Structure 1
Amino acid sequence: MIKLFRTNDPYRLVLLTIALIVGRVVIFAIPLAEVTRPDLDFAGAISDGLLNGVDKEVGPLYMLLWQLVDLTNGIWLSALLAGVFVLINTVLISDLFIRNNALKDNTYIPGLFYILLTLASKSSLLLSPQLVGMTFLLLALGFLLDHIKFRGSEENILSTGVTIGLAALFFIPYAVFWSIVILIYIFYSSTLSRRYFLMSFGFLLPIIVVFTYFLYSDKHVEFLTHIWSSITNIGFKPQALTMGKVVVLPLVFSLWGALTSFSGARMTNHQIYVQRIMTWLLFFALFVGTFYLVKGGIIHYEFLSLPMAYFLSKNVLGFNKKWKSEALVWLVLLNGIVFLFI
C-alpha cells in the first residue's frame, strides 16, 4: 500500500479519493457503526437564545450550514458533504507537506494516514463542526508555514487570523488555537510585533461581522454568552482518558517519531521548523483534548490527526524495512475499524 502513495504524483489524489469512498461505503454498509443524524435547529436556536437544543460548542456558521443541509431531511447528504470535507482536508494536508518539503520525500502518505485516522472518528462520518472548522485551521497553518518559509507579507498574517476566526465560527473551541499560532509566530517567524495585533484583528474580524447580525437581531448578548461559555468551558474531564483509547496506538507511534527525531539530524532548517511546529500542535491538541470534551468524542481529534499523520509518515519513511512501513499502515487502519464499532 505504501508504494502506491509514496510517489510525488498528483494522480495519487485519485487513489486517495477511491480509498476514502471505499472506506465510507463499507462503514455505512455495516449497521454496527450506529451513525445518527445530528439534531440542530438554526431558526429555533436563534429565536430562543442560541442555546435551544444545540451543543454550546457548535458555532453559528455551522448551524446555518446545517440548516441548509437539513432542508433535505436526509442523512446521506450529510454523509456526502462530510466525505467532501475529509477529501478537501486530505488535499490540503498533502499540499501543505509537499509544498514545504516537510518530509524526507515529497509524498502523499500523510494524506493516506489522515483518511485512515478519520475512520476512527464518528464526528467525521457525518457533517460536523469539527470537520468543517478543521478545513479553515489547515488554511491558517498553510499561511503560517508560508510566512515562516518565505517571510510573507502582512496580508499573509491577516489571512492566518481570519481563517482561525472562521474555524471558530464553525466550532467555537477552535478559537483556542489562536494562542498557539501566536506563540509559533513569536518563536519561529521573527516578524514585527505589530503584526501580532494584525493577526488578532484578523481573528476577530469574522466574529465581529457575525456579531453585527446578532446585534441587528437584538440577540448579541446571547451570542457573546454562547461564545464565551464555549471557550471557558475548560476543566479536567476523566472521560477524556477513556475516550482517548481511540488514539493510543497511532499516538504512541507519533510521540515516538517526535522524540526520536528531535535533534533534526539530516534535515533542512525549514524541515526542522515544520517538525517543531508539528510537535507544538501535537502536545497542544492533546492538552486541549483532555480539558475540553463534547458529546460523542474527543473535541480536537480531527486536528490531532494532522500532527499524527505527519509523525506517522515520518516513521514510515524512516523505516529501513518495507514490512515495518506496511505493518504500521495496517495497524492504524485496524485501530480505526476496531474503535469505530465498539
Structure 2
Amino acid sequence: MLRFFHSYFPYQYVSLMGLLVLIRLPLLLHPFPLLIPELNWMIVGEQMSQGYLLYRDIWDSVSPLSALVYWGIHSVFGRSPLMLHAAATLVSIFQIVYFNYLTNNRDVYPDRSFWPGLIYMLFMHLSFDCLTLSPVLMSTSFLLLAFGTLIKQMDRRGATDEVFEVGFYIGIAALFYLPSALFILWAILSLLFYTGATFRQYSLSLFGFLFPFAAIVLIYYLWDSLDDFNRNLLSSVFRVRQYSLSDFKSLLASLFIPLGLGILGFLSLFNRPGRYVNFQQRVQQIMAIWFLIAVLTIALMPFLAPMVFLSFVPPMAYFAYYYFENIRKAWLAEIIFISAFSLMLLLFYQGALGIIPGAGLGRLSSLQVRPSPLPDNITNQRVLIIGEDLSAYRQNQLATPYLNWDLAKYDLKNLDNYESVINVFDHFRKDPPDYIIDRENVVDKLFQRAPALSLRYEKTATAGVYKRK
C-alpha cells in the first residue's frame, strides 16, 4: 500500500478518496449505535430551528458555530444521524486532501508522495465515534488552515500581515470547539521562535483571534443574553465534566497505534539530522508545539472519547510519516503499515459492529444512548430529563432549557435559593414538560419549594417519572 501511494500523481486523490469511502461505506449502510453526544447535538439543532436561542433558551455548552451547523442540518434533514456522518465524511475529505496538498506543495517533507494523506486518512479512524460531525472535527479543519498560513510565513524572510489569518482561523476553530482557543499559544510561540514577526504582527494575529469572539459577544449583548453566554459557554469550559461518558480502555486502545507511530517518527528524526533543510526543521518544531498544546486541551475536554482527540491527528500523522520514511527496508515498512492499518480497522469495526462476540473493547458503551425509561408508546412529547441520561429524548423533544445536566445544576441543585426556584418555575410556565424524568431526586424538593408545580404533575408507575395532569 505504501508503494502504491508513494507516487505523486493527481489521480492518486481518487484512489485515496476511494479507500476512505471503502472503509466507511459498511458503517454508513449498516446502522450502528447512536451516541449521547450525537443526540445532544441533534436536540440543539432541533431547538434552534424552533426559534430558541442557544445559551438563553437551550442550556448547553456546545460552541456557537457548531450549533449553527447542527441547526442548518436539522432545518434541511431533521434528526438524521446519517447526515451527521455524511457531513463528517465531507469534512474528513477536505482535511485529508488539504493536508496532503499542503505538505507537498510547501515541501514540508524531503520527497513528494501521497503518504501524508494516506496516514492522515488512517488516523482519522481512531474509533467509530470519529465518523460523526463532532465540534472537534470541524474545529481541526480551521486549525489546519492556520497551519497552512503559518508555514507560508515561515517560508519567507519575514512575516507579513497575513498573520491576521492565523489568529482568525484559530478564533473560528475556537467557536466550533472552545478548547481550541489554546492554540493561539501555538501560533504566538511559532511566530516568536521561527519568524521575524514584529510587535505589530503579533497584535494583528491576536486581533484576528479575538475578532470572531467580539462578533459573537456583540450578538449576545444585543439579545440581552450576555450572562447566559458567559455561564453556559465561557465559564462552562472549566466546569462541565461528563466523565461518566468516558471509556478509558477503548480510548487508550484507539490512541495506542497512532500515538506510538507518531512518537517513533519523532524519535527517528534524531537519527538523520542532516537530511532536512532549515525550513523543514522549523515545521517539525512547530508541529511538536501543536502536539503539546493539544495535550493541554485534555484538561478542558467535557468527556474523554476518541472523537475529542481528533486535534491530535495532524501532528501524529505528520511525525508518523518520518517513521516509515526512515525505515531503510521498503518491505519492512510495508509490513508494519499493513499491520497498523489492519489493527486500527479491526478496532474501528469492532466498536461499531461488535464483530468479536463478547468483546467490549471499542464499543464505547458508556457513550451509547440506552433504552428510554419511558414506555414505547410515549413519543413526540415534551420531556425534561433531570440527569445525564438523554435517552428519553430519542423519540421526544426537550422541554425547558435544561439540556445539559452540569449546567442545569445552577438551578435544579440550588433550590434553597429563591432566585433559582423562580427561574425553574418560569421555565416550567413558558415550556411545561409533559413528562419529567428525575434521576437526581430533585423533584420532591422542587415541589416543596414551588407547590403550584406539584399540583400540575402526578407520579407514574415508573420510578422517578412524573406526568403532567
Q: What TM-score do the two structures reach when normalised by structure 2?
A: 0.66
Distance 1:154 1:226, change over 3 A: farther
Q: CA deviation at 1:29?
A: 4.2
**1:9 correspondence with 2:4:** no
Structure 2 portions without partners, runs of 5+:
352-361, 363-469
Asked whether the equivalents of residues 240 and 298 of structure 1 are also in contact (C-alpha less than 8 Å), the reply is no
Write out per-residue CA displacement over residues 97-135 of structure 1, whole angstroms, 9 at most, x where no aligned residue.
112212221112111111111112344312111111111
Q: CA deviation at 1:81?
A: 0.9
Distance 1:195 1:155, change over 3 A: closer
After superposition, where does 1:117-196 map in structure 2 within 5 Å?
117-151=123-157, 154-196=160-202
After superposition, where does 1:60-75 map in structure 2 within 5 Å?
60-71=64-75, 72-73=77-78, 74-75=80-81
Distance 1:29 1:247, change over 3 A: same
**275-284 or 294-303, which deviates more:** 294-303
Q: CA deviation at 1:61?
A: 1.0
> 2-side partners of 1:274 and 1:153: how far apart?
15
Write out per-residue CA displacement over residues 46-67 of structure 1, whole angstroms, 9 at most, x where no aligned residue.
547358363x2x2101101101
After superposition, where does 1:214-229 map in structure 2 within 5 Å?
214-229=220-235
**1:285 correspondence with 2:284:** no
> 2-side partners of 1:51 and 1:306: how far apart?
36
Write out per-residue CA displacement over residues 187-239 of structure 1, whole angstroms, 9 at most, x where no aligned residue.
1112112211211110010111122211111112222333422443599x896
Distance 1:240 1:192, change over 3 A: farther
After superposition, where does 1:5-84 map in structure 2 within 5 Å?
5-31=5-31, 33-36=32-35, 37-40=38-41, 41-42=44-45, 44=47, 47=53, 49-50=55-56, 52=58, 54=60, 56=61, 58-71=62-75, 72-73=77-78, 74-84=80-90
* Alignment match of 1:112 (pick from 96, 118, 135): 118
Q: Which amino acid aligns with 1:250?
A: P
The 3-state SS of whatever aligns with 2:58 is coil
**1:301 correspondence with 2:291:** no
> 2-side partners of 1:91 and 1:230: how far apart?
34
**67-76 or 298-307, which deviates more:** 298-307
Asked whether the equivalents of residues 262 and 320 of structure 2 are also in contact (C-alpha less than 8 Å), the reply is yes
* Alignment match of 1:318 (pick from 310, 313, 326): 326
* Alignment match of 1:251 (pick from 239, 248, 259): 259
Write out per-residue CA displacement over residues 215-270 of structure 1, whole angstroms, 9 at most, x where no aligned residue.
111112222333422443599x8968642331112212211211231363211001
Q: Which amino acid aligns with 1:80?
A: A
Asked whether the equivalents of residues 240 and 302 of structure 2 are also in contact (C-alpha less than 8 Å), the reply is no
Write out per-residue CA displacement over residues 136-184 of structure 1, whole angstroms, 9 at most, x where no aligned residue.
1100011111001124654311000111001111111111111121111
**60-69 or 144-153, which deviates more:** 144-153
**251-260 or 88-97, which deviates more:** 251-260
Write out per-residue CA displacement over residues 258-298 of structure 1, whole angstroms, 9 at most, x where no aligned residue.
12313632110011111111222223323433x23334614
After superposition, where does 1:255-266 map in structure 2 within 5 Å?
255-262=263-270, 264-266=273-275
Q: Which amino acid aligns with 2:274?
A: A
Write out per-residue CA displacement over residues 61-109 of structure 1, whole angstroms, 9 at most, x where no aligned residue.
1101101101212222221111000000011111221122122211121
**1:272 correspondence with 2:273:** no
Aligned length: 337
Asked whether the equivalents of residues 117 and 332 of structure 1 are also in contact (C-alpha less than 8 Å), the reply is no
Q: CA deviation at 1:42?
A: 4.4
Q: CA deviation at 1:20?
A: 1.1
* Alignment match of 1:331 (pick from 339, 359, 370): 339
Q: Which amino acid aligns with 1:246?
A: S
> 2-side partners of 1:246 and 1:233: how far apart?
26
Q: CA deviation at 1:313?
A: 1.2
Asked whether the equivalents of residues 120 and 336 of structure 1 are also in contact (C-alpha less than 8 Å), the reply is yes
> 2-side partners of 1:35 and 1:188: how far apart?
45
Structure 1 or 2, whichever has the larger Rg, is: 2
Q: What TM-score do the two structures reach when normalised by structure 1?
A: 0.89
Asked whether the equivalents of residues 158 and 195 of structure 2 are also in contact (C-alpha less than 8 Å), the reply is no
Q: Which amino acid aligns with 1:14?
A: V
Q: CA deviation at 1:324?
A: 2.2
> 1-side partners of 2:186 and 2:228: how far apart?
27
The 3-state SS of whatever aligns with 1:319 is coil
Aligned identity (percent) is: 25
> 1-side partners of 2:332 and 2:184: how far apart?
37
Distance 1:302 1:308, change over 3 A: same
Distance 1:201 1:48, change over 3 A: closer
Distance 1:153 1:104, change over 3 A: closer
Distance 1:88 1:109, change over 3 A: same
Which protein has greater RCO, CA pairs closer than 8 Å, 6+ apart? 1
Structure with greater proportional helix content: 1
Q: Which amino acid aligns with 2:40?
A: D
**59-68 or 147-156, which deviates more:** 147-156
